[in-house]
Each structure stands twice: as structure tokens, then as C-alpha cells.
Amino acid sequence: MKKILPLFLFIALGWFPLQGQPNVWINEIHYDNNSSDSGEGFEVVIENASSYNLGDFTVTLYNGNGGTSYGEVNLNQCTLGTSVNGFTFYYYYYSGIQNGAPDGLCLSYQGSLIPGQFLSYEGTFTATEGPANGVTSTDIGVSEDDNTTSTQSLQLSGSGSTYAEFIWQSPSISTFGNVNNNQTLIPSPGDTQPPVWTTGYPKAIPRDDRGTIIVNLDEPGTVYAVVLFNDATPPTSQQVKAGADYDTVHVLVYDSVVVTEANKDYYMLLGGATPETDYDIWLVAQDNETPPNIQTDPVKLDVTTTAPRSLDMTKPEDKDTAYIGGDLHFEWTSQNIDSLYIGAYVPALQETFIITDDNDQPIAIPALLGSFDFPIPQDAFPGYYNILLFDAADTSYYDQADSVLLQDKRVLEWVSPQDHETYYVGDIVYFKWHAEYIDSIYIGGYDYTDSSWFMIPDDDNPMAFPANLDSLAFPIPLDASTDSVRLIIYNADDTTLQDIADPVYLLDTIKPEIEMLMPDNGKTDVPYAFTAVLAFSENVTPLTGNIYLHKEDGTVIATFDVTTVQHEDNVLALSLPITLDAATTYYFTMDAGAVEDYRHNVFGGISDPGTWRFTTAAKQLYFSEYVEGSGNNKALEIFNPTDQTVDLSEYGIMTTSNGSDWYFPAPLHGMLAPGDVYTIVHPDFDFSLLADSAAVVDTLWGAYINYFNGDDARGLVQLVGGSWDEFPNYTLIDVIGEEGIDPGSGWDVAGVASATQDHTLIRKNNVETGNIRIGWDASAGTDAASSEWIVLEQNFVANLGYPTPNASDNTTITAFELRDTVGNLVSTTAIIDSAAATVSIEVIYSAGHMVDSLVPVVTVADDGSAVINGDTLDFTNPVTFTVTAEDGLTTRDWTVTVTIAAAPSTDAAILAFSIPNQMSDAVIDAANHTVAVVMPYGTDVTALTPALEVSAGASVTPAAGEAQDFTNPVVYTVTAEDGTTTADWTVTVTAFEPPVVGIFDVQYTTDASGDSPYKGQMVRTSGIVTALNIYQGAFKGYFLQDTAAAWNGIYVYDPDHDTLQVGDSVTIVGTVDEYYNFTEIKNIQDLTVVSQGNTLPGPVDLTTGDAAQEKWEGVFVTFHNATCLDNNLGYGEISVDDGSGALVVDDFLYQYDPASDFTVNNIYNLTGVMNYTYGAFKLNPRSANDISDVTGIDNATLKNSVRIYPNPSSGIFFLTTEGMDGSVLQISVMNTLGKVVYTKEFTHNNLSREQINLTEQAKGLYFIRIESGNNAIVKRIIVQ
């Protein structure tokens, strides 16, 4: 938006004395003495005090404990003392100056601390507020105590003129208002140096007949300038200052400027020059000292004036006319001007202004343009103006057009609606208007029903619409609750210009509809106790009736009278009186006629169990660990016991403090995987304690959530509906402690007094959900057996971050063996006694000498661990070591006893056999001495290197690590420890051969997830290529199909075989995968082209409403007579509907142009393959040939030819058509649930009139669909 800026062609600069940094300091202090403190005060000394305003000086007193101020005194409150050598003393007696260890005071000028004047006694501290905020004090080094008398003080002594030249002395007789003891004040030396030009100054900007000089000095003073002819005899400094002719030199121009502030630009305008002429400009500066210090030598600027300027404005002309809201057209010719300003002189106001932008900067227009259109603002005033066009570099140079008349010919008037028109709630109102010389409009009005003003779209955010739109479609909201309104159209830039349609009537014939449900219909992870919410599309009034909560079998478990539930506007809130069962489905129903809207349209009720249905969670998130450690070592841990990743943004943590009520929840964030934990710690936690923890630390809310000390409850809440920012509906699902109760130091848990203080609590592994159903008391229990919690010592964090609730507490050793220091097995079978926690094991005969240095290999059940000290152990005597269960909490000591075999072993077995990359463990048949190994598909078995292990002390031939050809079975001979016993073992190695399956076998599934039964498996299958996927020029894969039927198409991700063509018959070997729930075959190991140019299987003829099913995924299909509903869904997608339901069409395979290739309401035949992406089944045309526009009679003609009346009616409607002779029309009527309740077909002849009888149907809203060929329209009718 353009603004106007007053133009001042002449500016008078006032002069005022500059006050420099004052020479001032604190000179004397008294704060403590040997009895009751008296005579306390301070003294300040200022040089040249008359040059300053005493009110600008402040003494601030500071408390050293916290650095806050406790008092302040302005110097104009002080008592005037003597003056010595230009220094004046001011003192103030202040009762209550604090006595230190430490305390202090500071001196400031105009709110800023004077350097070096934040002084303290008996130590230092940092100020936290006031003029010294953030500054550390300077200790004066002396102090007062009980030996100081009330007539003494701390004083500066020495000789000098500044604070730094004096030192503080021990207490002596006070001298407030006079020179201190042993102090001599010497006046400061005066300024003897002239001012210095700032770098780059002075400088000149020459014009054609004038010029501007810019000066800048390092101190205040005065600058003098003279203009001479080029190469004239140089003047002296005094001659420049005098400004008069000297010798034979004539001074052309003389000027001066007062510089009141250092390092600031000042300007001189020098006129009377001749264009394109050389001149010498001499300048000299002096300061404000008495006498002034003037520069020794003047400086010269060599300037050349520019060529003559010209500016001739040809448009507008004198006495032209312009219009508010229109454009003022400028035309001009110019020379030697870079840019122009536009302005005007208002004779009636005698004011001149320049047009500016939003930042109040003049708008510069390049002079070379020659023309410019200026939009005249809507808030301009009619009248006469002198229009001005300025040289932007010199606004004293301009041209003008006089007496330009600005008139107001703006027009704004309604075309539609007009007075007394009627509309229905839910209809679309088409606002139409006529506007001239107006940029934008508002639409609003006055509601007669509730006597309120309104704007569109709402009162807080009225929207400005371009006036040149001329019309606007506005849907009347379903919650409109008014009978009539006054509609007003406003000029958005000048709302006094408006037009009114009054009254406009609104009729509401639509029953209230459900707008929102909490919990959502179909929600599956609902908490066990919550407040249910039913929101309607408009405000409602309860009448008589109930809402019922049912179990899935229909049993009513709760009844809510609509007259007693919480009600506000369009919302009914139902607080459940019971706690629901886990993993159970429920639904709500509602009596018909229980509520009505403003116009007494009653709600039809809820009878279908599928309308508001939900299932409670089988398991819920809960607190799995609570750490109330020392200091800030506080933490909470949350566990996800479900089999789904949980979005934590739907959860929050509530807090209490010392028995308070719950505070609003702190929302969580992130995703929590199944079986994983989420840890929140205080940001000042001692993280060295977490060295052995698996905790993923979150400190975002740590300081708030973890600010507890044993008697502060914590609650985990879950959103039932809404969001944390808007309409949050949340409920508790787990608690630690109780709201509104202060337990003292803490709550008892598992029989441990005040266990929530100075302890760590860990939830037991048999807990599956929060304790909201059983309560905190039952969760805490009365002893270790009845409690859900394990109580551990303070600062125990070893388990923090581990999924403790699902971890095992099993400490059983399941396997034990001994090896020598190079890894060879030297033990035979171990005898493990779990009851006694003992292991008895024998080492072979030949290892008897190494019992004192064996390496134990221990396997503990459920991923437990054993703590073994050192690399080897001495088993000469029984050894005891500790086993820790998977939960990290449960431990047990085991004792191992080793014996030595009496004779060499005769065992000659292969105990383990493996080959790198084998598909599964080798199958070892000890009875038949055979080993079987399966390798991946395509493995070359001619040179494989196995690893194997044989009985303790035995040897094998061929040796482990030697490559073998396994084309045929290989025999390994094992020789026992005794050297004579042998056994031959036959090893068979085969390469995996994938099963041969049809595409139907891969795709067909009854699993609700839609996953293939072959997911993750390698298969061999065959089919014909129906489509290619080439993305941005790169080959990605293809679709295969073997039969024109459901479940018989599939996508193959195979970038490597880019020579395939549609019609190729291929056999492939690959792995079945679910790519974001889209079944595909990938990692193609083998591909054979069987034949080419084959007829494609299909396409299968489908309806759009039937296509969005798992069975059509990947199938080649076709659709007929589908109407384009929307050609701008985004990302190249459109939607179509053949009357059976909408279907999304995607440009995944063929990049069509949605806007040009599809027209809304046109009819299309479409072909392609179905895929599943971003949660939806979509049709993918393969080329332009798959898209055919088959539109017949256009929908506009059909819409304009059909009329239905009366509407509303009691059930008898008449349908007339005109101008469609011979056309066959199909009529179908549907209720709001989409069920067809009436059909009819007839042939139009001239002016047809057909009756539609719906008298047997329930009262309410219906949709009538009229079809002609490939086109259809839908109208709304009401049975009342």
C-alpha cells in the first residue's frame, strides 16, 4: 500500500551543547560502626557539574546476596557540598546501608553504568538487575567493622583528576561535602586538538546548478566552506572561515554548518553554479573549545557540475480529471535525471506530500520509463490537487500539473441476492455484485435472530475478495441458526461505501447430522474409562430420549438421559459410569427424536451398531520405571506392551505437587516401537550413572515432568479425541500416586514405607496394562507379592531404558562347556542341576593337565548372562559365579565342579557343521552319521569351505577350512581321542529350489492385513507383461498377469531387465515382499522370456466402486462411463465415479496432464492396472490410449432441462424435462445411507412430466440421480 510523506523543502537545524562523558565518581562511603549504625551515607564528586542535569545521575545500592538492588538516589536529591578546582561535592545520608560480606553500590549516568563505578566492600558479587546487571563488582579493598565510629568513613586519597588516580584508605574522620583527608583535586587538562575528518569525508554530490556537501567529524564543532573557480589560489584555514574575498580571489559561495554530534552526517546545499563547470570547494573544521581549535590546513574537493537537467511532465495536464480507485497516468520527458518521486500539493490544506511505500520510504521511479500508472488509494479525498513530479536526488527540482480534479465515481451494488429472497440451509448462495473503481470487497451483515453483526468467513478473519470477481459461491453452513439476515457488501478499503439486501430469509429443513464422534467410529485402541463426545453439524436442544452403550452382543451396559448429560451448543458429552473391559467391542445407539435443531428438525437417532463402534485396547502403555534418585537424578520410563508402533503425540503426562489437583498434561512426542521403552529424565541428571544403561534419553519435558520428590503424583493420559491444541479429550490410563492427596514423604509400595521417595520402582514383567482399572492402591500392593512394582535402592538405573516388563527373570544355565585357550572343546556332556544351581562337567583325559586354565562357555536361558572374572578360570576346585537374568535385576550364584576322564574318549561325532551363507542350520543325524546343508538358490557348490566341530579331543579328515566340491556327497572321517575309534560322516549340500506357484497363490489371502502368504519367501512364477513402470526415464519394473481374474496380477520390481516389452511371457524367480502393503516380487534371481507378442489376459471389466479391493491389486482392468469428479487432487491424481463409488486415478505409469486430459463432469472409459499406494487402491493408465472421453449430452444441458417440484413435499414429486426428445432417462432415489429406495426409467417426449412416489419412505433428506447416456446429475429432495 502506498502512503504519503510530508515534504519539507527547508529544514532548520537547532543548536544545543553536547554533553560528553562526565568525569564523576563515588568519593566517600560509610556503612558500619561500633554501635547502632548512624551517619551512613555516600559522597559523589563531579567535574564541571553545571554542564549536566543532576537528575541523570543515580546511585544504586546492591545486596551482595543475590545481586539485587534495594534502593536508589538521584543526585538532585543529594546535599550540595563545596566546589574545589571545578569539582563539586554532593552527599546523601542513607539510613540502612547494608553491612556487607559483601554488599555494594554503583553510579550510573542516563541509565548506563559509569565504567569502574560498581564498587563493593568485604568481597565481590555479580549484579542481577539495575544499571550494573551482569557486571561483577570491584572490591575497594578496605572495610568498616565494630571498631569504626559513626564519625568515620572510607575515603579516596591521593592526587589527581580522575577516579583511577586515587586509592581507598581505611576509616578516618568523615568529610562528607568536602575534599577528603589526604586528597588533592587537579583540574582536567583542556582539549588542544582540532577535530578530525571521519574517513571518507568530506564529500560532494554535484548537480547541474548546485551541489550537496556531506561532512562528518570525530567531535562536535563547526564546518566552513567556500566555492572558488577551478585552480584559484588556495585559501588558508582562517580565510575559509572568514568566507570573504582574499588577495585577487573571488569567493563564489560561502556556507557553514554546525556539527552537534560526532560521527554523524551533516549537509550543506551550495547553489548558483554553472552546469558542466569545474570548481574548487575548500572546507575547514573547528571544535567548540574556548578558544576553538581549528584545523591547520583546509581540504579541497575538486568538483564538476553535471550537464543541465530537464523535466517536462506531459501527463497529467492542468485541469485533468482522475478517479478514486482508478489510475493516475503519468508521462514525461527528462534529461540527466536518474529517478523520480511522485507527489502533490493540496491547495485546500496548503500541504505537500510525496508517495511512499509500506516502509514510509519514497517510491523511486526510473526516469527512463517515461510513463507510470499510479493507483489512486480508496481512502483518497476528492478535490483539486497540484500534481508534482520531482527529481528524486533533488526535490527542489520538479514539474507540476495544476488543478487536477480527483472525483469519486465508485459504484458498489448487489445484483444477487435482492431484498426478500429466500434460501435454504445447506444450499449454495451465489453472491453477485456490480463494482466500479473498487479493488476488493467484504461480505457481511446483521443477524436478526441473535441481533449480532457478522463477516464472511468469520468475525475474527474477514476475507477480502477481488471486486472484479463479480460473483462468489458461498455454502450456507448446516449450523446456521437464523431466520433472516441483512446482507451487506462493503468496499474493503472504505467500508462506508456499501450496498444492502434486506431482509434475506433462511429456511432450515435439514435434520441435525453427526459431525464428530469421540472416540472415532472404528477406533481400536480406546482406553477403559473416558468421556464420550457426540457433536452435531449444528447446535441442538435435548428433548426426551436416551443414548445407550452396548456390548457387541447388544447388551446395554449404560444408559444416558439426554436431558442430564453435559450439553453445550452442538455437543453432548457422556462420562462413562463404568470401567470397560479390555479388548472388547462396544457401540452406542441413540433414540430418534432425542434432540432437535433451532428449527425443530429432530435428529433421526442412531440405530445401526456400525455408526458409533469402538474396541478397547488389549494392552496399553504404562509407566514401567520410576527413579526418585538423589539431587536431580529423576526419571520416568514408559513401556509399549502392544504389537503396534505407538504415536506418542496422542499421550501426555499429568503432574501434581504436594497433594494438588492434576495440572494440564505435558504432551509427549515421537514414535514408540512394540516392546520398547521411552525414557524421560531431568536435564540435570548425572548422566555418568547411565554408562551401562540402554536409556534413550528425552529431556524436552524432563525438568517439568521429573520435578518430584516422592509426594508428587504422576499420571499417563491418552487422547480419546481432538488434539492437545484444539478440543483435547483425554483420560488417565496409568498413575503413580494419587491426585489431591499429600502422603507425607511418599507413598508405600510393596510393603516399603515411602517407597516413592529415595527409591527406584520397576514394574513387574507380568503387568500388561496401566492401573486405572484397579487403582493406585491395588497397584502399589501391601507386600512384594501383591504389588505390581519392584522396589530397588536409590539411584539404581541399570535397568533404565530396557524393556523390563517383557524381560525374563530366568537365571537357569541351559548349556555349559569348557575350551582350551585356543578354542578347542575339551569337555563332554555337562550335568546341570537347576534346583541346586550346580554344574558337574568332565574334561577329556588329554586335557587333565590344563584344568587350572580353562575357558568356560556359558549359555543362560532367555538371554541372561554370567559374570566371569578373567579370560580363563582355575577349575582345580569348584568355582562359583553369578548369573544375571535378562531383566537385569534377578541374580543367582552357580557352582561348577570339574572332573577329569579316566581314559581317552571314544566319541567320534560331528557336533557342528556350517558353510557361509547357508540358509538354515545344518541337519546333523547322529544315528546315521549324516549332515545336510541347504544353500541359497543358484549357489555354486563346487568349491565351498565349511567350518565344523567334532567331539572333544577328536580329529577329522578332510580338515575344517578346506574347500570341497559338494556336487556329490562328501565323506568326513572323524577319529576319536583314543586314536583308534573312527566314524565316517556323509555330508550332503544342495542349493535351494524355490517352489513353482501361480500368481493367484502369491496374491490370494484372507489375512486382514492383505499380506501375501508367501511374504519373505522365494518363488518361481510365470505370467504375461501387462504394463511397464518407467519413472523419469529409468526402468523400474513391470506388472505380470496369468489370467483375466481377481488375484492374478502382480507387480515385479526389477530394474535390471529393461528390455522387456508388454506382451512378453516370462518366468521369474524372486522374493515376495510387501512394499508399504503393496504386494510385489523383488530381488529377481532368474528371468526367462518364454515368448513375445502375446495377447494380454484381460482387461477385467470392473465398476469403480468395486475396484478398491485387495483382490484387484496388480490386475489389468477397465472401467466404462466413469464421470470425472475432481481433476485436481494433487500429485497427478484425479477421481472418477461410474455411479458405484469413487475411484482415484494416478499418473504412476503414464504422466498425463490432469487439467487438460480430464474435464470435471465429463464421462470416460479407462483402462490400466491397479496398485496400492499411500493407503489407497488406484487405477494406473499405461498410455493415452487407456483414456477415452465418451461424454454424450453434457451435464449442463441435462441440469438445465430437468425440474423437480414441489420440494419439499409430503412424498409426491413431479419431474419435468424439456428439449431432450427421444432421450432415455434412468431415475434412482437414494437415502442418506446410500441405499436405493426407488428406480424408474422413461423416454422423454416433447414436454414430459413423470410422478415420483416416495410416500412410503421415512421423512428426511434424499438424493435423486437422473442419468442420460453417459451423463448424470444429482439433486436433493426432502420428504416432510
- Give me the pLDDT at residue 1201, please: 72
- Give me the pLDDT at residue 886, please: 81
DSSP for 168-222, written as a single string: EEEEEE--TTSPPTTEEE-PPPPP-S---BPTT-SEEEE-SSEEEEEE-BSSSEE
Q: Cα separations (Å) of 547 from 532, 559, 599, 720, 1118?
A: 11, 6, 22, 19, 46
Instruction: Answer whether 1041's CB lies under 8 Å from 1094's CB.
Output: no
Gap between the Cα atoms of 850 and 898, Å rounded? 11
Instruction: Answer whether 342's CB lies under 8 Å from 369's CB.
Output: no
pLDDT band at 167 (very low <50, low <70, confident <90, very high): very high
Q: Cα separations (Å) of 997 from 345, 785, 1048?
A: 91, 55, 12
Greatest mean pLDDT among 264-273, 420-429, 896-905 lies in 896-905
Residue 952 burial (10 A CB sphere; 0-12, 13-18, 19+): buried
Grouping H, G, I as helix, E, B as strand and the rest as coil, residue 481 is coil
- The C-alpha cell at 130 is 539495575
Report whether CATH 2.60.40.770 matches the domain 310-407.
yes
Sequence letter at residue 1071 = T
Note the pTM of the prediction, 2 decimals: 0.42
Per-residue pLDDT tens for 39-68? Answer: 899 999 999 888 789 999 999 999 999 999
pLDDT band at 1195 (very low <50, low <70, confident <90, very high): low
Instruction: Quote the distance between the C-alpha of residue 811 and its chain's center.
Output: 46
Count of residues for the chain? 1280
Q: At which residue does the C-alpha cell 585577487 appear?
A: 248
Gap between the Cα atoms of 159 and 1163, Å rounded? 104
Supply φ then ψ for residue 163, to 5 degrees: -55, -40
Grouping H, G, I as helix, E, B as strand and the rest as coil, residue 1002 is helix
Nearest of 152, 182, 178, 188 to residue 166 by alpha carbon:
182
Gap between the Cα atoms of 1132 and 1146, Å rounded? 6
Gap between the Cα atoms of 1018 and 653, Å rounded? 47
- Give me the pLDDT at residue 4, please: 35
Per-residue pLDDT tens for 208-247? Answer: 888 899 999 998 999 999 999 999 999 999 999 999 999 9
CATH topology of domain 1195-1279: Immunoglobulin-like (2.60.40)
Instruction: Answer whether 769's CB lies under 8 Å from 622's CB.
Output: yes
More confident residue, 460 or 197: 197
**Which of 639-643, 800-804, 939-943, 1047-1051 bottoms out in mean pLDDT, i.e. has the lowest?**
800-804
Class for domain 813-900, per CATH?
mainly beta
What are residue 760's DSSP bridge partners?
627, 792
Gap between the Cα atoms of 1107 and 1118, Å rounded? 10
Sequence letter at residue 1264 = I
- The C-alpha cell at 1027 is 504394463
Instruction: Answer whether 967's CB lies under 8 Å from 934's CB.
Output: no
pLDDT band at 1196 (very low <50, low <70, confident <90, very high): low
Grouping H, G, I as helix, E, B as strand and the rest as coil, residue 835 is coil
Gap between the Cα atoms of 670 and 1044, Å rounded? 45
Residue 1177 CB coordination number (10 Å): 18
pLDDT band at 192 (very low <50, low <70, confident <90, very high): confident
Per-residue pLDDT tens for 101-122? Answer: 899 999 999 999 999 999 999 9
Residue 15 burial (10 A CB sphere; 0-12, 13-18, 19+): exposed
- Give me the pLDDT at residue 474, please: 85
- pLDDT at position 588 over 90: yes
Q: At which residue does the C-alpha cell 516389452 appear?
A: 1061
Nearest of 869, 812, 855, 863 to residue 837 by alpha carbon:
812
- The C-alpha cell at 898 is 570339574
pLDDT band at 275 (very low <50, low <70, confident <90, very high): very high
**Which of 146-160, 711-725, 1151-1165, 1197-1211 bottoms out in mean pLDDT, i.e. has the lowest?**
1197-1211
- pLDDT at position 805 over 60: no
Gap between the Cα atoms of 130 and 58, Å rounded? 11
Non-local (6+) Cβ contacts of 131 within 8 A are: 58, 60, 106, 108, 111, 112, 113
Q: Cα separations (Å) of 648 from 457, 636, 644, 719?
A: 35, 15, 12, 10
Structural element, H or E, at residue 330: strand 327-335
- Give me the pLDDT at residue 52, please: 86
pLDDT band at 1054 (very low <50, low <70, confident <90, very high): very high
Provide the terminal-to-terminal Cα distance of the chain, rounded to the nearest Å: 54
Gap between the Cα atoms of 840 and 857, Å rounded? 14
- Give me the pLDDT at residue 698, please: 59
CATH of domain 514-616: 2.60.40.1220
Are the folds of 910-991 and 999-1189 the same?
Answer: no
CA dihedral 980, 983, 989, 995 (to 10 degrees): -160
CATH topology of domain 910-991: Immunoglobulin-like (2.60.40)
Structural element, H or E, at residue 466: strand 465-466
- The C-alpha cell at 497 is 461505501
Query: Taking CA 767 as the corner, what is the angle to CA 765 and CA 770, rounded to the nearest 5 degrees?
Result: 140
CATH of domain 411-507: 2.60.40.10
Structural element, H or E, at residue 355: strand 351-356
Q: At which residue does the C-alpha cell 527512463 appear?
A: 368
Q: Is the peptide bond before 904 cis (omega within 30 degrees of 0)?
A: no
pLDDT band at 1249 (very low <50, low <70, confident <90, very high): confident
Structural element, H or E, at residue 1026: strand 1018-1031
Place domain 999-1189 in its CATH homologous superfamily: Bacterial OB-fold (2.40.50.200)
Supply φ then ψ for residue 1112, to 5 degrees: -95, 0
pLDDT band at 891 (very low <50, low <70, confident <90, very high): confident
Strands 371-375 and 327-335: antiparallel
- Give me the pLDDT at residue 1221, please: 55
One-letter-per-residue 3-state SS of 735-780: EECCCCCCCCCCCCECCECCCCCCCEEEECCCCCCCCCCCCHHHHH
Supply φ then ψ for residue 1271, to 5 degrees: -115, 155
- Give me the pLDDT at residue 1271, please: 67
Which residues in 544-563 are b (16+ Cβ under 10 Å) and which e? Answer: ebbbbbbeeeeeeebebebe
Per-residue pLDDT tens for 312-336? Answer: 999 999 999 999 999 999 999 999 9
- pLDDT at position 611 over 50: yes
Q: Helix, strand, coil % (nearest 5) of the chain?
A: 5, 45, 45
Nearest of 418, 600, 610, 441 to residue 505 by alpha carbon:
418
**Which of 164-168, 460-464, 867-871, 1026-1030 bottoms out in mean pLDDT, i.e. has the lowest?**
867-871
Q: What is the mean pLDDT of residues 1038-1042?
A: 97
Per-residue pLDDT tens for 687-718? Answer: 777 755 544 555 566 567 888 989 999 999 99
Report whether CATH 2.60.40.10 matches the domain 203-304.
yes
Non-local (6+) Cβ contacts of 530 within 8 A are: 519, 576, 720, 729, 731
* Residue 9 per-residue DSSP state: S
Residue 1059 burial (10 A CB sphere; 0-12, 13-18, 19+): exposed
Domain spans, the chain: 24-185, 203-304, 310-407, 411-507, 514-616, 622-806, 813-900, 910-991, 999-1189, 1195-1279
pLDDT band at 12 (very low <50, low <70, confident <90, very high): very low
Whole-angstrom Cα Rg for the chain: 47
Residues above pLDDT 70, as percent of the chain = 94
- The C-alpha cell at 1269 is 447416456
* Residue 1251 per-residue DSSP state: E
Gap between the Cα atoms of 1158 and 1152, Å rounded? 9
